[in-house]
Homo-oligomer: A and B are copies of this chain.
Amino acid sequence: MKVAKFGGSSVASAEQFRKVAYIVQSDVERRIIVVSAPGKRYKTDTKVTDLLIQLGEAAIHGEPVEPFIETVVGRYVDIADGLELSAADFIEQMATDLRKKIETYRHDQSRLMDALKASGEDNNAKLMALYLRHIGLDAHYVSPKEAGILVTDEPGNAQMLPESYEKLRELKHRSGVLVIPGFFGYSLNGHIVTFPRGGSDITGSIVAAGVGADVYENFTDVDSIYCVNPSIVDNPRQLKEITYREMRELSYSGFSVFHDEALEPVYKARIPVCVKNTNNPEAPGTWIVAQRDHRDQPVAGIASDTGFCSINVSKYLMNREIGFGRKLLHILEDEGISYEHTPSGIDNMSVILRANQLEGEKERRIVDRIQTELQVDDIQIEYGLALIMVVGEGMERAVGVAAKATAAFAKANINIEMINQGSSEVSMMFGVKEEVVDQAVKALYDAYFSKQPLS
């Protein structure tokens, strides 16, 4: 069986609902579908989730809520009308529910927000089930509570509880097509709690792992995952297959198809993921798998991100000082700083981190602490760094992968500020100045992809 998750743009309008229905109908294995709230129908449109946040803020500030409720409900009315559905009861109920939630959670802002935000997915799942039944499918709305998605009680940051899996497994035995709203679960004391960013992906991934699906399909609005950000390289190569590890390395910097935490449940259950396009379901999409044959294509993709800085410290005889690195990292941890990499020489060590963590007083305090507590000879912070990840399962064993990259940088006359490649890795990291990062990514794309046949 397949679990198919449809993202916001895939369920934004009547037209999109029809496409989803077509996709569900065309494969009897698609037995569980997870839906997002209606997303944008056009570039300047507002997502229902954002409308619900506006509604919540109005309620919190004691402003009139009815206009906001009307706008939200209007989105669902449009979809129902476009589908020629008689959904008057459903629509009426939705408005009543929203008012009731505002009343119930009047004095608890975070619960109110969670309840309102979750309603976007919840109502869309109900509407989708209505529509699928309308066209003759044996479809059923299943609430996360009924499905068994139990989570920690942290509003906006729910983590799934492991006991969920037992209940989820039972979904396998239910007949028909089950429609489950994404983005939220229930705490043990019965509250709606939403997942962090990427929440519907998390639901889909949890459900797929829970029922032991053969495939977790993730329907979005692109034909595939690209090997490089299409806003940097025109019309880049599409990826047929990529491993979880590669996806995680890529999604970390500059690849936004997946929120990386969302993949954890299917990664652990070793369930293959297929990223497909709701608007072009015949396209093969991109498979995310545990292993791939990487002989012909050691490098899977190139990702980049800006906004990093490097804290560079040097001290004569540093490497004789047992505990130096640990103490330096301890100071950063103390100050709540997370870091990316720590390249080191014999008498020097650099810590690469996101620069926004050093705002305000923090930079001064960290520099002072490192100077005082570690008695370094020199400390400097270099801002304006970009990191580029060249990612691929085949890199570890392929002679010449690094040579290709460094030659590309040299040819483009780009200075490499940092290189970090470890023995167990599927990635090689390059640090460059932010000004040249796009140029560097283009040069790497040309080196690895442009002259090879499409895979």
- Which residues of A approach B to under 8 Å, CB–CB? 245, 248-249, 252, 260-261, 264, 267-268, 310, 312-314, 316-317, 319-320, 322-323, 325-326, 329-330, 333, 336, 338-350, 380, 382, 385, 389, 397-400, 402-403, 405-407, 409-410, 413-429, 431
Contacts and interface: CB of A to CB of B under 8 A. Distances in A.
A313 B425 CA distance: 10
Given A402-B416, A403-B410, A424 B314 contact: yes
A162 to B, nearest CB: 14
Contact of A414 (B317, B382, B399, B417): B399
13 contacts: A248-B346, A249-B347, A261-B317, A312-B424, A319-B340, A342-B344, A343-B343, A343-B422, A348-B422, A348-B424, A350-B425, A397-B415, A406-B407
Given A248-B346, A248-B347, A323-B333, A420 B423 contact: no
Given A320-B261, A417-B423, A346 B402 contact: no
A424 B322 contact: no
Nearest to A418: B423
A284 to B, nearest CB: 27
Contacts of A409: 399, 402-403
A21 to B, nearest CB: 35
Given A264-B316, A399-B415, 12 more contacts: A249-B345, A249-B347, A252-B346, A268-B316, A310-B423, A313-B424, A322-B336, A326-B329, A345-B426, A349-B422, A385-B423, A416-B421
A246 to B, nearest CB: 11
A322 B354 CA distance: 14
Contacts of A320: 261
Contacts of A428: 419
A82 B36 CA distance: 96
B419 A410 contact: no
A415 B344 CA distance: 21
Contacts of A264: 316-317
Q: A314, A322, A344, A350: which has the most chain B beta carbons within 10 Å? A: A344
A420 B419 contact: yes
Nearest to A343: B422
A418 B427 CA distance: 11
Contacts of A312: 422-424
8 smallest CB-CB distances across A and B, nearest first, come from: A343-B422, A312-B424, A403-B410, A403-B406, A326-B329, A400-B410, A350-B422, A419-B421
Contacts of A420: 343-344, 419-421
